[in-house]
């Protein structure tokens, strides 16, 4: 049966996903073309010269097509067998960037390879982490209802994330939180999700409200709960401890953790972006990192600017309902949106095709994600399912964060839009992610370990 | 286990669904419910470049261009691109210092933002232009831009033509709907202002796409929203450059005005106001140097006396007064008055220049000799007309005639800010004399000889002559005969200048009598020595008393006597007899117009006349004071009188900010400090200066007193 599949890979392969994939990549090239379009150049020639980004993206896409075919021709057992090795390789590559790394846009996460192309190991590590997570959870000896397994899985995920942070790629590091989907599906207690959500809300609330006011509100709520349930406590003394410890954690978060995060963990510009999202100004003088930097560089802290988001919103908003038309967007033509061919590619679509375009586009993405979830659920082997959910998580996280950032719902982090944004590494990563899943899906009758 | 967690796939789908819904809600709010983003995008990216068409040319009656367009260059800067500029060299070429340089850059940013071009130094001289052009590569961000400016080949008719200047904030507010922008130029006075929409043409707008660095990317939407610049249309006036030049020349060194109208059309042939200025002084880089000086000049060279100056018409009014009496049937041409050198019917006798009996034996003679008594009597008859029962009604009728002749109202000439001068209302007399019952014709007797409160502008005087020349009608005086490619709207606008105004129905024979009388003025009367070779003409001299000094010299006339084609009014302020100064000026203007040239004798006369200096002493002394302060000598003139001559209203109209610089009124407006406080303090100061010890003593005394 395995042989049969290898000889004829079309059997069992999900063509709906492949079709969606091709449409997405095509839309991506179109969007990059819109960004780069110059009426003074003969664009039909420039498509093949590899001098413009869209023609480069076409070459990337061709390369990815070959990779995809190659993956589909592979034996699906390879992925289970090599997952450990690949993970280690990925981590080593990430460590190697600290030595060989090339500085691109302020982040030292690229390794230069032949032909002027650069490789970003952190991107590839997403695949390897997905594989090793699947491998770990699918092992018969792993009982994923236990805390120990959770911690081990967590460690596997957090290691590349920490390395990414060290490379100043906060966005990429955040992506690793996407694995929470897969872990949740495999038995991570929902409490953790709720706790994380609560923590996020608390952080946002801290930023929005005055810390003192917020601590008073939290204390009052805790007090009221204790008063209400005072009879229960007589029977169960543990619950009062739980409530008090939750209150203590909240209080600590407000008073210490949030200021620490913004002043010590984040870079000045990151804190500034988050604050400006909330409509506030961040004083970079409090930031330890920027303080160090200014003493070294003698450069004054940058003024808080939300230029990117402002221009991005103008571009999308000016599209209106029907859009300004293909190649007619003035924001795109005038290059008002920075990094428009990579992280802000969504703006060119929004401006040219309006709400109709963005709605259709999001519909396509949603269909794509639900299709992947359907694939995940039809797997017999845990390995394939965990891997599938990892892919769903990664895609979803990228889409949600990227688009939120374009429309001003999330602070600006460097996260590309899957299959659309310009960039070989990113396109290749998502291609590999999708096609390994398709390869596994083709063998869904097998139980892989 | 996987079976146990099956529902979690659904939960994940729900989470994804929720997040996508949030995204779509935000997209709806951005793309469907906020219109500001479209506007913001247009503001970002669309650069409107305005293309200025050439202004229309103004021609005289013989199609000579009274003004033309010439090219001047501005140095223009885009502040954002002005980096790495060789400021030393630039400042050296422009003869400015570095502080001025930075100041102008900041001004440019304030005016037009960093990414738009603003004028750094307008109207470069040819030399500066050449220097800059050679070194322009040293000044990135600076460009030389062409601009069309006015030039005046005949150096004449400054008041009539008006000037073009950069619009200011006030102007933009007043003309908000007309699409002017900061930095535009517009006609500010004269014909340039009145015919601005026609002369300006239509500005073209080209829209460009601009990128984030302000660089032009190409036409916006392939230029479908662009409009072409349409050149301003030319206008053709009834003026005669040579007559105009002659009039201005003759009025040199005098204060006054001359207006010549073609009675057949109402077209103004010449309109001069003196002192004037060379219109070339208010174009290009000259303007900056000149405008302040002109505005502050006490003789008010930019004030158009022909339409704003208010003069008592004096004896030049007499033909009109006679006409009223004739029409009302109060006198016949044969009516005579036995004048013995004064008019005493109202008590206090009024003087007449003539004593010989019979000089006012009939209307014709009375006009020829300009007999005061005769016309005072005629005026009284008009006011006390038994037909109207009381003096008030009689006066109102008389005023109605005056208005019909074009006095006491704006004629509607095609220049801005015309003055209506004054024919007093009965209300004024009622107020002054304590009610309608208490006054009669004796109270405003001198109205009959063009004095009292009656004033007229030179334009009104000339128009009245046109009315007489036409025997009963006139056309609204105007400059513009036709407009190039006249459309319906223009026709509508010019309609009023092409309509005969015939309010009165006075019999032609009365006009003939008046004309004969005025002809006699030039044969046997007060203007007998003024000749227009080859032509008979009708005229009336005037010597108007006025409260500001010597008599004004006035002269009104029209020629030829039969079938007149020119009517002239000349006023020379504080000059003396009408026949001495105003008369010859009018005569020469008629000669020039009718014969197209002056005889040698006339040329000599013109030359002599133009050299006569009749400037009032007060104004001369002002020049002495202001131009050479160290030579200031105590001259005897009354400061208040000077203030009276000043027309504050007019100054404030042109330069409200400059008003503070006026000398006479400033003192009045100074805040009066309460006298109680400074007096003791100055006393103390004086005392300390004189004897500090003494003061000390005083203080101790005070202390003691208190204790």
| DSSP conformation letters of B589-636 | HHHHHHHSS--HHHHHHHHHHHH-----HHHHHHHHHHH-GGG-----
DSSP state of A254: I
Same domain, A326 and A364: yes
Q: For chain B, what is the mean pLDDT?
A: 81
Say yes or no to pLDDT of B282 above 80: yes
Percent residues over pLDDT 90 in chain B: 28
User: What is the arithmetic mean of pLDDT over A396-403?
Assistant: 94
In a domain, A386, yes or no: yes
Structure pTM?
0.63
Tell me the pLDDT tens digit for each residue of B554-588: 999 998 998 999 999 999 998 888 888 999 999 99
Stronger pLDDT, B666 or B152, i.e. the higher one = B152
In a domain, A92, yes or no: yes
Cβ-defined contact of A187 to B5 (cutoff 8 Å): yes
Cβ-defined contact of B12 to A403 (cutoff 8 Å): no
The DSSP result for B488-526, as a single string, is HHHHHHHHTTSSEE------HHHHHHHHHHHHHHHHTST
Pairing of strands B235-237, B480-483: antiparallel
Nearest to A314 among B9, B19, B44 (CB): B44
Residue A168, phi-psi category: left (phi > 0), alpha (psi -120 to 50), beta (remainder) = left
Cβ-defined contact of A334 to B210 (cutoff 8 Å): yes
Nearest to A314 among B13, B17, B41 (CB): B41
Specify the pLDDT at position A8: 53
In a domain, A448, yes or no: no
Specify the pLDDT at position A91: 92
B118, β-bridge pairs: B77
Same domain, A145 and A173: yes
Cβ-defined contact of A355 to B36 (cutoff 8 Å): no
Assign A139 to helix, strand or coil.
coil
Nearest to B19 among A185, A358, A400 (CB): A400
- Give the range with max mean pLDDT: A53-67, A293-307, B378-392: A53-67
What span, in angstroms and rounded, lies between the C-alpha atoms of A272 and A277? 9
Cβ-defined contact of A358 to B31 (cutoff 8 Å): yes
CB B270 within 8 A of CB B242: no
Pairing of strands B500-501, B480-483: unpaired
Report how far Cα A42 is from the mean position of its chain's Cα atoms.
36
Same domain, A76 and A140: yes
User: What is the arithmetic mean of pLDDT over A121-128?
Assistant: 88
Distance from CA of A125 to the nearest CA of B (A): 24
Where is B541: in which H helix or E strand? strand B538-546
Distance from CA of B652 to the nearest CA of A (A): 47
Q: CB atoms < 10 A from the CB of B396, how many?
A: 14
Cβ-defined contact of A316 to B6 (cutoff 8 Å): no
Cβ-defined contact of A331 to B36 (cutoff 8 Å): no
Percent residues over pLDDT 70 in chain B: 88
What span, in angstroms and rounded, lies between the C-alpha atoms of A122 and A99? 15
Say yes or no to pLDDT of A56 above 80: yes
Say yes or no to pLDDT of A28 above 90: yes
Tell me the pLDDT tens digit for each residue of A228-247: 777 766 667 777 788 888 88
**Chain A interface disruption, residue of B19, B30, B217, most A CBs within 10 A:** B30
DSSP state of A209: S
Say yes or no to pLDDT of B1 above 50: no
- Of A198-207, A255-264, B533-542, B670-679, least confident by mean pLDDT is B670-679
Residue ranges per domain, chain B?
6-34, 47-237, 241-340+355-610
Cβ-defined contact of B23 to A403 (cutoff 8 Å): yes
Of B193, B191, B192, B159, nearest to B175 by C-alpha is B193
Q: What homologous superfamily is domain B47-237 in, according to CATH?
A: Penicillin-binding protein 2a (Domain 2) (3.90.1310.10)
Query: Has domain B241-340+355-610 been given CATH number 3.40.710.10?
Result: yes
Report how far Cα B419 is from the mean position of its chain's Cα atoms.
10
Of B573, B577, B578, B576, nearest to B556 by C-alpha is B578
Chain A positions touching B19 (Cβ under 8 A) are 396, 400
pLDDT category of residue A300 using cuts at 50, 70 and 90: very low
Chain B positions touching A187 (Cβ under 8 A) are 1, 4-5
Same domain, A290 and A204: yes
CB A220 within 8 A of CB A213: no
Stronger pLDDT, B214 or B224, i.e. the higher one = B224
Specify the pLDDT at position A134: 92
Of all residues in chain B, the one with the smallest CA distance to A358 is B27
Specify the pLDDT at position B243: 93
**Chain B interface disruption, residue of A330, A339, A378, most B CBs within 10 A:** A330
Cβ-defined contact of A318 to B40 (cutoff 8 Å): yes
What span, in angstroms and rounded, lies between the C-alpha atoms of A125 and A89? 9
Please give the backbone phi and psi of residue B252, each rounded to the nearest 5 degrees, phi first. Answer: -55, 145
Long-range contacts of A357-365 (CB under 8 A, 24+ apart): A357/A319, A357/A323, A358/A316, A358/A319, A358/B27, A358/B31, A359/B24, A359/B27, A361/A27, A362/A403, A362/B20, A362/B23, A362/B24, A362/B27, A364/A20, A364/A23, A364/A24, A365/A399, A365/B20
User: What is the arithmetic mean of pLDDT over B531-553?
Assistant: 89
Stronger pLDDT, B136 or A87, i.e. the higher one = A87
Distance from CA of A112 to the nearest CA of B (A): 31
Assign B233 to helix, strand or coil.
coil
Same domain, A23 and A160: yes
> Structurally, how many domains does chain A consist of?
2
Nearest to B26 among A184, A376, A409 (CB): A409
Say yes or no to pLDDT of A249 above 80: yes
CB A207 within 8 A of CB A270: no
Pick the last residue of a domain from A250, A274, A297. Answer: A297
**Chain A interface disruption, residue of B37, B208, B225, most A CBs within 10 A:** B37
Nearest to A336 among B20, B26, B45 (CB): B45
Specify the pLDDT at position B411: 92
Cβ-defined contact of B20 to A407 (cutoff 8 Å): no
Percent residues over pLDDT 90 in chain A: 34
Cβ-defined contact of A315 to B41 (cutoff 8 Å): yes
Nearest to A355 among B5, B12, B28 (CB): B28
Respond yes or no on whether the N-terminal peptide bond of residue B560 is cis (omega within 30° of 0).
yes
Stronger pLDDT, B309 or B617, i.e. the higher one = B309
**What is the ipTM for the molecules in this complex?**
0.89
Specify the pLDDT at position B635: 29
Say yes or no to pLDDT of B166 above 90: no
Chain B positions touching A404 (Cβ under 8 A) are 23, 26
Distance from CA of B50 to the nearest CA of A (A): 20
Helix boundaries (H) for B297-447: 305-308, 318-327, 363-369, 372-383, 391-404, 426-433
Pick the last residue of a domain from A237, A264, A297. Answer: A297
**Chain A interface disruption, residue of B31, B214, B216, most A CBs within 10 A:** B31
Tell me the pLDDT tens digit for each residue of A355-372: 999 999 999 999 999 999
Stronger pLDDT, B697 or B205, i.e. the higher one = B205
Assign B570 to helix, strand or coil.
strand
DSSP state of B150: E
In a domain, A324, yes or no: yes
Tell me the pLDDT tens digit for each residue of B461-497: 999 999 999 998 999 999 999 998 888 888 888 999 9
Same domain, A21 and A168: yes
Say yes or no to pLDDT of A345 above 70: yes
What span, in angstroms and rounded, lies between the C-alpha atoms of A431 and A440? 14
Chain B positions touching A409 (Cβ under 8 A) are 22-23, 26
Cβ-defined contact of B5 to A369 (cutoff 8 Å): no
Specify the pLDDT at position A305: 57
- B interface with A, Cβ–Cβ < 8 A, is 1-2, 4-6, 8-9, 11-13, 16-17, 19-20, 22-24, 26-28, 30-32, 34, 36-38, 40-42, 44-46, 209-212, 217-218, 220-221
Tell me the pLDDT tens digit for each residue of B81-109: 788 888 888 888 888 888 888 888 888 88
Tell me the pLDDT tens digit for each residue of A166-211: 887 888 888 998 998 899 888 888 888 888 888 888 887 887 777 7
Nearest to B5 among A185, A330, A370 (CB): A185
Specify the pLDDT at position B704: 43
User: What is the arithmetic mean of pLDDT over A60-71?
Assistant: 94
Longest Cα–Cα distance in chain B: 143
Count of pairs with CB atoms under 8 A, one residue in A, one in B: 129
Same domain, A68 and A209: no
What span, in angstroms and rounded, lies between the C-alpha atoms of B162 and B37? 45
Chain A positions touching B38 (Cβ under 8 A) are 317-318, 320
In a domain, A40, yes or no: yes
Assign A135 to helix, strand or coil.
helix
pLDDT category of residue B681 using cuts at 50, 70 and 90: very low
Of all residues in chain B, the one with the smallest CA distance to A353 is B31
Same domain, A253 and A311: no
Tell me the pLDDT tens digit for each residue of B379-433: 988 888 888 888 888 888 999 999 999 999 999 999 998 999 988 888 888 888 8
Distance from CA of B108 to the nearest CA of A (A): 24
Distance from CA of A233 to the nearest CA of B (A): 33
Specify the pLDDT at position B683: 39
Nearest to B24 among A39, A362, A370 (CB): A362
Same domain, A203 and A167: no
B146, β-bridge pairs: B73
Exposed / middle / buried, residue B673 (Cβ in 10 Å: 0-12, 13-18, 19+): exposed
- Locate tokens 């030292």: which residue? A108
Distance from CA of B16 to the nearest CA of A (A): 7
Specify the pLDDT at position A105: 63
Nearest to A334 among B19, B26, B217 (CB): B217
How many Å is the Cα radius of gyration of chain B? 35
**Chain B interface disruption, residue of A334, A350, A380, most B CBs within 10 A:** A334
The set of residues, in sequence order, having a beta carbon less than 8 Å from that of B268 and lying 6+ positions away, is: B160, B237, B238, B239, B259, B260, B261, B262, B413, B459, B477, B478, B479
DSSP state of B414: S
Same domain, A148 and A211: no
Cβ-defined contact of A145 to B1 (cutoff 8 Å): yes
Distance from CA of B109 to the nearest CA of A (A): 21
Stronger pLDDT, B540 or B632, i.e. the higher one = B540
What span, in angstroms and rounded, lies between the C-alpha atoms of B143 and B153? 29
Pick the last residue of a domain from A242, A262, A297. Answer: A297
pLDDT category of residue B627 using cuts at 50, 70 and 90: low
Same domain, A314 and A182: yes
Cβ-defined contact of A39 to B218 (cutoff 8 Å): yes
Say yes or no to pLDDT of B506 above 60: yes
Where is B145: in which H helix or E strand? strand B142-151
User: What is the arithmetic mean of pLDDT over B181-209?
Assistant: 86
Cβ-defined contact of B37 to A186 (cutoff 8 Å): no
Q: State the residue range of the domain holding A228.
A: 195-297
Of B196, B180, B233, nearest to B54 by C-alpha is B233
Specify the pLDDT at position B16: 93
Of all residues in chain B, the one with the smallest CA distance to A180 is B12
In a domain, A449, yes or no: no
What span, in angstroms and rounded, lies between the C-alpha atoms of B522 and B539? 6
Pairing of strands B235-237, B58-59: parallel
Specify the pLDDT at position A444: 84
User: What is the arithmetic mean of pLDDT over B328-353?
Assistant: 85
Stronger pLDDT, B190 or A171, i.e. the higher one = B190
User: What is the arithmetic mean of pLDDT over A17-23?
Assistant: 94
Assign A279 to helix, strand or coil.
coil
Chain A positions touching B207 (Cβ under 8 A) are none
Q: CB atoms < 10 A from the CB of B47, how many?
A: 19
Q: CB atoms < 10 A from the CB of A259, how many?
A: 14
In a domain, A125, yes or no: yes
In a domain, A447, yes or no: no
């Amino acid at each position: 049966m395995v042989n049969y599949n290898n000889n004829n890979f079309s059997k069992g392969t999900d063509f709906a996903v492949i079709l969606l994939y091709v449409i997405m990549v095509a839309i991506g090239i179109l969007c990059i073309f819109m960004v780069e379009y110059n009426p003074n150049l003969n664009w039909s020639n420039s498509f093949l010269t590899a001098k413009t980004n869209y023609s480069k993206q076409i070459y990337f896409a061709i390369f990815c097509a070959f990779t995809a075919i190659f993956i589909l021709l592979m034996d699906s057992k390879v992925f289970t067998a090599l997952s450990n090795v690949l993970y280690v390789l990925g981590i080593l590559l990430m460590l190697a960037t600290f030595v060989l790394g090339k500085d691109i846009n302020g982040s030292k996460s690229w390794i230069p390879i032949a032909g002027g192309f650069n490789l970003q190991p952190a991107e590839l590590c997403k695949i390897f982490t997905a594989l090793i997570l699947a491998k770990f959870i699918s092992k018969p000896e792993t009982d994923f209802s236990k805390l120990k397994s959770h911690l081990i899985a967590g460690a596997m995920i957090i290691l590349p994330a920490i390395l990414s942070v060290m490379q100043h790629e906060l966005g990429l590091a955040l992506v690793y939180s996407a694995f929470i989907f897969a872990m949740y599906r495999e038995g991570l207690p929902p409490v953790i999700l709720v706790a994380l959500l609560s923590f996020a809300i608390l952080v946002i609330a801290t930023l929005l409200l005055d810390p003192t006011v917020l601590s008073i509100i939290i204390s009052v709520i805790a007090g009221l709960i204790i008063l209400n349930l005072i009879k229960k406590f007589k029977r169960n003394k543990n619950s009062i401890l739980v409530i008090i410890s939750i209150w203590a954690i909240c209080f600590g978060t407000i008073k210490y953790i949030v200021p620490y995060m913004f002043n010590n963990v984040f870079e000045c510009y990151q804190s500034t972006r988050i604050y400006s999202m909330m409509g506030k100004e961040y004083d970079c003088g409090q930031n330890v990192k920027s303080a160090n930097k200014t003493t070294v560089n003698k450069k004054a802290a940058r003024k808080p600017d939300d230029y990117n988001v402002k221009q991005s919103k103008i571009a999308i908003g000016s599209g209106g309902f029907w859009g300004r038309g293909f190649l007619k967007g003035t924001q795109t033509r005038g290059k008002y949106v920075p990094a428009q061919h990579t992280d802000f590619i969504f703006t060119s679509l929004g401006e040219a095709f309006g709400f109709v375009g963005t709605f259709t586009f999001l519909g396509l993405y949603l269909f794509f994600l639900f299709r992947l979830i359907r694939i995940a659920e039809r797997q017999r082997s845990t390995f394939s399912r965990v891997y599938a959910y990892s892919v769903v998580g990664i895609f979803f996280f990228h889409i949600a964060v990227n688009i939120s950032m374009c429309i001003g719902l999330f602070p600006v982090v460097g996260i590309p839009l899957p299959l659309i944004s310009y960039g070989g590494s990113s396109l290749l990563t998502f291609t590999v992610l999708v096609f390994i899943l398709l390869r596994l899906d083709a063998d869904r009758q097998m139980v892989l370990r | 286990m996987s079976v146990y967690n099956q529902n979690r796939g659904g939960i994940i789908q729900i989470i994804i669904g929720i997040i996508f819904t949030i995204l779509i809600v935000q997209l709806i709010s951005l793309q469907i419910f906020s219109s500001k983003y479209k506007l913001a995008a247009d503001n970002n990216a669309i650069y409107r470049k305005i293309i200025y068409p050439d202004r229309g040319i103004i021609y005289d009656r013989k199609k000579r261009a009274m003004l033309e367009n010439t090219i001047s260059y501005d140095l223009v800067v885009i502040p954002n691109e002005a980096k790495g500029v060789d400021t030393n060299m630039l400042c050296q070429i422009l003869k400015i210092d570095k502080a001025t340089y930075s100041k102008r850059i900041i001004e440019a940013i304030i005016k037009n933002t960093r990414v738009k071009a603003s004028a750094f130094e307008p109207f470069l001289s040819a030399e500066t232009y050449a220097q800059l052009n050679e070194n322009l590569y040293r000044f990135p961000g600076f460009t030389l831009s062409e601009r069309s400016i006015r030039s005046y080949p005949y150096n004449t008719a400054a008041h009539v033509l008006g000037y073009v200047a950069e619009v200011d904030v006030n102007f933009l507010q007043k003309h908000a709907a007309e699409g002017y922008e900061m930095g535009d130029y517009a006609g500010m006075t004269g014909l340039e202002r009145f015919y601005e929409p026609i002369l300006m043409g239509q500005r073209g707008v080209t829209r460009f796409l601009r990128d984030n660095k302000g660089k032009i990317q190409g036409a916006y939407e392939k230029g479908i929203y662009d409009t072409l610049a349409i050149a301003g249309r030319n206008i053709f006036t009834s003026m005669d450059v040579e007559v105009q030049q002659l009039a201005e020349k003759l009025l040199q060194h005098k204060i006054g005005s001359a207006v010549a109208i073609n009675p057949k059309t109402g077209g103004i042939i010449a309109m001069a106001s003196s002192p004037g200025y060379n219109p070339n002084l208010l174009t290009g880089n000259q303007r900056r140097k000149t405008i302040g000086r002109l505005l502050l000049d006490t003789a008010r060279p930019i004030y158009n006396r022909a339409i704003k100056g208010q003069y008592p018409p004096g004896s030049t009014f007499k033909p009109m007064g006679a006409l009223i009496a004739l029409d009302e049937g109060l006198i016949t041409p044969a009516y005579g008055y036995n004048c013995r050198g004064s008019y005493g019917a109202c008590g206090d006798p009024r003087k007449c220049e003539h004593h010989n009996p019979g000089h006012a034996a009939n209307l014709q003679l009375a006009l020829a000799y300009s007999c005061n008594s005769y016309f005072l009597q005629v005026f009284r008859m008009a006011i006390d007309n038994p037909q109207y029962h009381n003096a008030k009604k009689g006066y109102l009728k008389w005023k109605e005639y005056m208005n019909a002749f074009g006095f006491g109202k704006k004629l509607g000439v095609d220049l801005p800010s015309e003055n209506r001068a004054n024919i007093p209302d009965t209300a004024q007399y009622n107020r002054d004399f304590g009610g309608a019952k208490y006054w009669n014709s004796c109270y405003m007797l001198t109205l009959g000889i063009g004095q009292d409160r009656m004033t007229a502008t030179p334009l009104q005087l000339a128009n009245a002559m046109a009315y007489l020349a036409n025997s009963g009608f006139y056309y609204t005086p105007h400059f513009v005969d036709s407009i190039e490619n006249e459309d319906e709207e223009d026709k509508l606008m010019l309609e009023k200048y092409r309509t005969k105004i015939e309010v009165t129905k006075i019999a032609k024979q009365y006009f003939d009598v008046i004309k004969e009388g005025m002809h006699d003025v030039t044969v046997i009367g007060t203007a007998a020595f003024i000749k227009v070779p080859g032509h008979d003409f009708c005229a009336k001299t005037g010597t108007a008393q006025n409260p500001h000094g010597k008599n004004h010299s006035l002269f009104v006339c029209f020629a030829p006597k039969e079938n007149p084609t020119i009517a002239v009014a000349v006023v020379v302020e504080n000059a003396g007899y009408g026949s001495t100064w105003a008369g010859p000026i009018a005569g020469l203007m008629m000669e020039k117009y009718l014969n197209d040239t002056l005889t040698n004798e006339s040329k000599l006369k013109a030359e002599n006349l133009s050299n006569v200096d009749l400037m009032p002493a007060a104004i001369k002394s002002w020049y002495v004071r202001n131009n050479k302060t160290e030579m200031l000598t105590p001259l005897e003139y009354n400061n208040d009188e000077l203030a009276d001559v000043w027309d504050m209203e007019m100054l404030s109209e042109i330069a409200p900010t400059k008003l503070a610089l006026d000398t006479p009124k400033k003192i009045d407006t100074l805040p009066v400090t309460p006298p109680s406080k400074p007096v003791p303090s100055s006393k103390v100061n004086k005392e300390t200066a004189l004897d500090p010890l003494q003061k000390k003593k005083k203080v101790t005394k005070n202390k003691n007193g208190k204790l």
